Amino acid sequence: MADPAIQRLYLKSVLSLPPPVLRALSGGGVIWRGGRTLDPRFQFLWKAWRKPRGIASVTPEEARTTWAEMVETAAPRAPSMVRVDTVMIDGPASTLTARLYRPSTLDPAAPVLVFFHDGAGVVGDLETSHALCARLAEYGQCLVLAPAYRLAPEHRFPAGFDDAFAAYAWALENAERLGGPPGVAAVGGQSIGAGFAAGICAALKAERQPQPVLQLLICPLVDIADESQSMQTYADAWPLSAQALKWVLGWYLSADADPNDPRLSPLRADVAGFAPALIVTAGFDPLADQGESYARKLKSKGVPVIYRCYDGLPHAFPEFAGLVPCAEVACTEIAGFLREGLEGRLVRAAALPDHQDSMSLVI
């Protein structure tokens, strides 16, 4: 990949062109699937960045490098007013490095949000999730603790989840020292990080421990054996395809992994009594149905839920918010939902609508 700074300037210039021009540069036509139309800027990026090389021949190290370079090019700048400190956490196997994000205006009543990055347990790190965490802290007016959990294949499941759970427990014990109210915390994450957050709710329920005050799930991976319609409709989507998901889970999972394990597939757990949830999905994502199904299941058990699907966006859209304006708007909205959730403004309401309506909030 070219120098990220140069490529960023080039892409920002090209992506400012009118949608018909972008679609023409992308080969013409509109990408329309399942009643949804892909944003023309993402259509151009799909054409420009999708690699013809088969994913099966890519190594985890290559995937990490490629993703890091892509995010460096496409991610938005983190709010400059957010203070970022390095924190060391006692993990189950070794000391974990984490980043603590402190907003310019901190609500002292807002609990710490422990947020886990995406990457299916194989790619991604604190840097690739940096801009999103800073935005959540600033506009959510809360502390955000982002731990660097162990990655596969060097450390297969359940290592990453165990680190995530340890980070949440550490946040509970140290919440007051960090600057939040004592003894409470929220959990959140993106993709598999969202799965970690939901899995923590399942683990706490199994141990008869109190739930987090909130779970924030962005494009959640909550069923590793998912066979829903979105897995077929958006099988060739970018940057996450069904083939790429299968490849990365092959590196992440241990040989004896059970798809029904709630640490892997919290969608299959008994979710009664789980924490209130903010669930966000992307329309052009093989995982889209998982997030909606999880929202519906929580709602059926009386758990307060806000659900939102951004129809024209793909998986991992927050990492592209520096290039695609509608992705940036979505991230700001998510931070606003977080603020409402932390203030306790989630309420029970009617069941989710039977039809898909990405422009409506389900609360």
pLDDT digits (tens, 9 = 90+) for 251-289: 999 888 999 999 999 999 999 999 999 999 999 999 999
Confidence tier at 355 by pLDDT (50, 70, 90): very low
Mean of pLDDT values over 221-248: 94
Summarised one tens digit per residue, pLDDT across range 192-228 is 999 999 999 999 999 999 999 999 999 999 999 998 9
Whole-angstrom Cα Rg for the chain = 19
Count of positions (residues) in the chain: 363
Element (H, E) at 167: helix 159-178
**If we measure between CA atoms, which residue out of 313, 309, 319, 361 comes closest to residue 340?**
361
Token pair recorded at residue 100? 């603590």
Catalytic residue among 118, 223, 315, 358: 315
Q: Which of 26, 129, 191, 293 is catalytic?
A: 191
**Separation of alpha carbons 120 and 195, rounded Å:** 9
Checking if the pLDDT of 353 tops 60, the result is no
Give yes or no for a contact between 101 and 144, defined as CB atoms under 8 angstroms apart: yes
Q: pTM score, two decimals?
A: 0.93
Known catalytic residue at 191: yes
Which residues of 65-222 form beta strands (DSSP E)?
83-90, 95-102, 112-116, 144-147, 185-190, 215-218
User: Is 315 a known active-site residue?
Assistant: yes
Q: Which of 3-7, 69-73, 219-223 has the highest mean pLDDT?
A: 219-223
pLDDT band at 52 (very low <50, low <70, confident <90, very high): low
Q: Is 16 a catalytic residue?
A: no
Class of domain 69-342: alpha beta
For residue 75, the model assigns a pLDDT of 92
pLDDT in tens, 93-150: 999 999 999 999 999 999 999 999 999 999 999 999 999 999 999 999 999 999 999 9
pLDDT in tens, 27-36: 888 999 999 9
Q: Are 237 and 181 in contact (CB under 8 A)?
A: no
Which of the following is catalytic: 261, 285, 289, 311? 285
Render pLDDT for 327-351 as a digit per residue (tens, 0 to 9). Answer: 999 999 999 999 999 988 765 333 3
Q: What is the DSSP letter of 362?
A: B
Is residue 299 predicted with pLDDT exceeding 60? yes
